[in-house]
Amino acid sequence: MAKKIKIPDTVKDLKLSPKKFGKKIGIRIDKGMPKKERKFYTKKLWNKYGKMATEGLNDAMHILSENNPEEKKMAKVVKRVDHVLESPKTMDVVIKRYKKNPNRYPDMIHLPRFIISTVDYYNSTRITEAEKLEMDEKFDTEKLIDFSYHILKKPIKYYEKRGVNDVPAFRLAAAVPSAKVFNKSRFYYRNAIEELFKIAALDPNQILDLNVIIPSMIKVDKTRKISKKEFLRHFCFEYMCLRLRNKDLMEDSQKALNAELTSFVLDYLDSMKPRSLRELLKAYISVRKKEEYKNLKGAHPINFVEHAAANSPYLNIQNVVQDMLEKNNNLATFLATERSIRE
């Protein structure tokens, strides 16, 4: 049975306009009010509404960081976050309150990822010019990005010290502001990998050294939130499960990253104990079977069938895969890069 998530009132109230929120807490501003009285109650309303919106965003970020934001049950929470981001006036109040006391809102560190995701969507070729104009009216993009930089000052500085350039460091900090997210959901591993591909496309001159970046993700907090062994196992597994829908449309920098990631993951898998590797491959096969059942398209990065060949440099992988195929040759369907091996 799925765990029921309790949504606090602060998050539920994010959907309310200032007027409706005022009505809820008993603050009414009528047109016939004297100017001085109207000004007093307007200020009072915005003070309370701003407090609710800032606390609500912080609470929403806590919930979303503890769960997979893409799950259906999270849709209402995401919608309420979008409702606040789409109001420049509300965000002005939120930014002001956050900057006064950032320590009071620790989970706001996850907000930049949602801001960047929204900006990326509206900058994509998937939307019309009319939709882009609508975004210009709803979002103060420059202010939201500046706010994101402010929230992420510490993780950005951390990544930059390890040789990651300005914009990639910003995006990496938004994707992985804290290693503790990796304890919560598979989503954050996949999101980190996908962000690396986006960074590679944005800055082709940026050399993404995985031997620097991956340990940096684990140690981004002052105190480690996840063990290196656990992180690498989940990170490599998520890369194995990645579906490369448009490999032919990749930038050269993305292809280079793909090759480096593949080598990194194969080196890790080959260093595993045979029993542990077999268990990981069985879990991978289970994912591939589910994909086939759902008719999900896309090639996977690693063709394990090729590594069962005699000339594979990864002897541990070779021995384990060969043994699995000898016992059940039908597994070749799910250990190849694509399902088309059947045809």
User: Range with the lowest mean pLDDT among 7-11, 196-200, 203-207, 239-243?
Assistant: 203-207
Instruction: List, for residues 223-235, the tens digit of each pLDDT value.
Output: 667 888 999 999 9
Paired residues of 238 in beta bridges: none
Are 213 and 179 a contacting pair, CB within 8 Å? no
Report whether pLDDT(343) > 70: no
Q: Average pLDDT, stretch 57-62? A: 96
Q: Which helix (H) or strand (E) holds 210?
A: helix 210-218
DSSP structure class, residue 244: B
Count of alpha carbons within 13 angstroms of residue 293, beta-carbon side: 6
Mean of the per-residue pLDDT values of the chain:
89
Nearest CA to 232 out of 199, 302, 280, 169 is that of 280
CA distance 141 to 119: 7
Q: Return the residue matching tokens 């895969």.
A: 321
CA distance 263 to 288: 21
- The one-letter amino acid at 150: H
Instruction: List, for residues 239-295, the tens digit of each pLDDT value.
Output: 999 987 666 778 888 989 999 999 999 999 999 999 999 999 999 999 999 998 888
Report whether pLDDT(312) > 50: yes
CA distance 50 to 52: 5
Are 286 and 241 a contacting pair, CB within 8 Å? no
Which two three-digit tokens encode residue 153?
């000052």
- Using alpha carbons only, give the angle 36, 38, 40 rounded to the nearest 5 degrees: 70
CA distance 237 to 130: 40
Report whether pLDDT(48) > 90: yes
Please count the other Cβ atoms lying within 10 Å of the Cβ belonging to residue 339. Answer: 18
- The one-letter amino acid at 123: N
Report whether pLDDT(3) > 70: no
Higher pLDDT, 206 or 6: 6
Which pLDDT band, with edges at 50, 70 and 90, does 107 fall under? very high
User: Range with the lowest mean pLDDT among 88-97, 186-195, 208-217?
Assistant: 208-217
Are 303 and 249 a contacting pair, CB within 8 Å? no
What was the pLDDT predicted at 31?
80
Instruction: List, for residues 247-260, the tens digit of each pLDDT value.
Output: 677 888 898 999 99
Are 240 and 321 a contacting pair, CB within 8 Å? no
CA distance 186 to 257: 21
CA distance 330 to 340: 13
Count of alpha carbons within 13 angstroms of residue 101, beta-carbon side: 7
Report whether pLDDT(41) > 70: yes
Instruction: List, for residues 141-166, the tens digit of each pLDDT value.
Output: 899 999 999 999 999 999 999 888 88
